[in-house]
Structure 1
Amino acid sequence: MNKILVAYFSASGQTARLAKTIADAAGGELFEIVPAQIYTPNDLNWHDSNSRSSLEMKDAHSRPAIANLKPNLDAYDTVYVGFPIWWYEAPRIIQTFLQSYDFSAKSVVLFATSGGSGMGQTQNILAQICKANFKSTGVMSSYASKNDVLNLIKKLN
């Protein structure tokens, strides 16, 4: 049986909403990736080139700490990994998450929310730092219905 984990990082709640819909549709367990240092609204101000998120995204080697790493992912065959798009890619904390485990025998399905940009080279960037069988749903609406998600899951399989 294919055991599924839906892991997500959400700064505003949009990705969390979509992750819950995906977990419900896929029959997966939900897991929130929580940063060790929670992002404040000032940290997330992408108009400020000195905001925390701006500085992290400028530094390709930045790996923000995670407060709640899941002790064991061995039981899962498929891991959906969700995030908001920041500067046309996944936030650096997603790289922290992917580098914290061995995904080599797992399917990793990327999903994202965005205020207006696409995923850019996200999948290629993440594939360089994590060996896994990657698939991607692309950018999705945080209001996607369970039926829309089920149809997308069928297309991915």
Structure 2
Amino acid sequence: MTKRLIVTYSWSGNTAQMATALQQVTGADQVMLTVAADTFSADMYATSDIANQQLASGKLPTLTNMLPELSQYDTILVGGPVWSAKVATPVRTFLTQLGDFQGTVLPFYTDAGTPGGYEADFETLLPAPVTFKAGIGLSGSQLAKASTILQGWWQKEN
């Protein structure tokens, strides 16, 4: 039996909403990634600047929650917001912790209009033994129909 995990970072709540709908579709376990409360601003533009500084310095934020033992899962669905067409820095931190995970990883993400090269950026962050599968992104306006959209996507993927 395939065991699945949904790992999510949500800055505004949109990706968390998508993750909840995805959990209902997949039946996967779920964990939310957290960072210290003062890591990012409540302002979207200030948060973008902070994330760009983190990327430039190579100092990614520390995750503040415990993660389950990843080796017990066959598939990990990793969700986060698109920040400047890139993977959000807390999600980057998680991806560095995949270690020797040998299953499949699929991204899911929310964006404010265009994901740009999000999936290509995501794929470059995965360690060698991981199998990458194309993911799915939704804009905020699509979240009301998330369950229907995700159901159709998941049926095609599995």
* TM range, smaller chain: 0.7 to 0.9
In structure 2, what is the Cα distance between the partners aligned to 1:65 and 1:116?
28
For residue 110 of structure 2, what is the amino acid of its counterpart?
Answer: T
Structure 1 range deviating more: 90-99 or 31-40: 31-40
Shift of 1:67: 0.4
Q: Could you say which residue in structure 1 is the equivalent of 2:90?
A: 93
Q: For 1:98 and 1:127, how far apart are their aligned partners in 2? A: 10
AA aligned opposite 1:151 = G
Letter of the structure 2 residue corresponding to residue 40 of structure 1: S
Indicate conservation of the 8 Å contact 1:5/1:80, yes or no: yes
Match of 1:32 in 2: 32
Whichever structure has more helix as a proportion of its residues is 2
Relative to the length of structure 2, the TM-score reads: 0.84
Structure 2 residue matching 1:31: 3-state secondary structure? strand
Distance 1:36 1:21, change over 3 A: same
Paired letter, 2:120: N
Q: Return the offset for 1:71.
A: 3.9
Distance 1:144 1:103, change over 3 A: farther
User: SS of the residue aligned with 2:121?
Assistant: helix
Is 1:127 equivalent to 2:123 in the alignment? yes
Shift in CA distance, 26/116, structure 1 to aligned 2, threshold 3 Å: same
Query: Identity over the aligned pairs, expressed in percent?
Result: 23
**Structure 2 gaps, min length 5:** none
Matches within 5 A, 1:62-81: 62-81=59-78
Using the TM superposition, give the Cα deviation of residue 101 of structure 1 relative to its aligned residue in structure 2, in angstroms: 2.1
Aligned residue pairs: how many?
152
Aligned-partner residue type, residue 153 of structure 1: W
Amino acid corresponding to residue 76 of structure 2 in structure 1: V
Instruction: Give every structure 1 segment of 4 or more consecutive aligned residues whose post-TM-superposition deviation is greater than 4 Å.
Output: none
**2:11 aligned partner:** 11
Unaligned runs of 5+ in 1: none
Q: CA deviation at 1:60?
A: 7.0
